[in-house]
Amino acid sequence: MLKEKQLSAELVHADFFAWQCKEPFDAIYEQTSLCALPSDKWKAYENSLYDWLKPKGKLFAQFMQTEKEGGPPFHCDVSAMIDLFITEKWKWGEEHETQIIHSGGLHEKTFLLEKLL
């Protein structure tokens, strides 16, 4: 499908906290990685995403909504995500109406963020 549209993508399978990218990406898709991490690792995760994107690069993020304590998956409250992905580094787009629904009542809120510098 990508070839038909003259696009390409690279899939990387690695230890997230050990891997170093050779050159920054145009876009990163985030789904259920952040919510799998305890909150004390979230800042390191955000810093890596920021470092791996080109200026004006896009982060397609889906933030898990569990409405519960503990995890994984851990609840990624949108106000906590705004505090994590700060507006000095990230431009937040509007929340997309499409939500990813999971069994057991969990869902993800989807946002498009853009790296500012």
Q: Please, what sign has the CA dihedral across residues 83, 84, 90, 92?
A: negative
Length reported for the chain: 117
Complete domains list, the chain, with CATH: 25-98+107-115 (3.40.50.150)
State the Cα–Cα distance between residues 20 and 45, nearest whole angstrom. Answer: 13
pLDDT of residue 47: 96
pTM of this structure: 0.85
| CA dist., res. 110 & res. 93, Å (int) | 10
Mean pLDDT by 10 residues, the chain (117 residues): 86 86 92 94 96 96 92 94 96 80 83 94
| Amino acid at the residue 4 | E
Name the one residue in this structure whose structure tokens are 């409250």: 77
H or E segment to which residue 82 belongs: helix 78-84
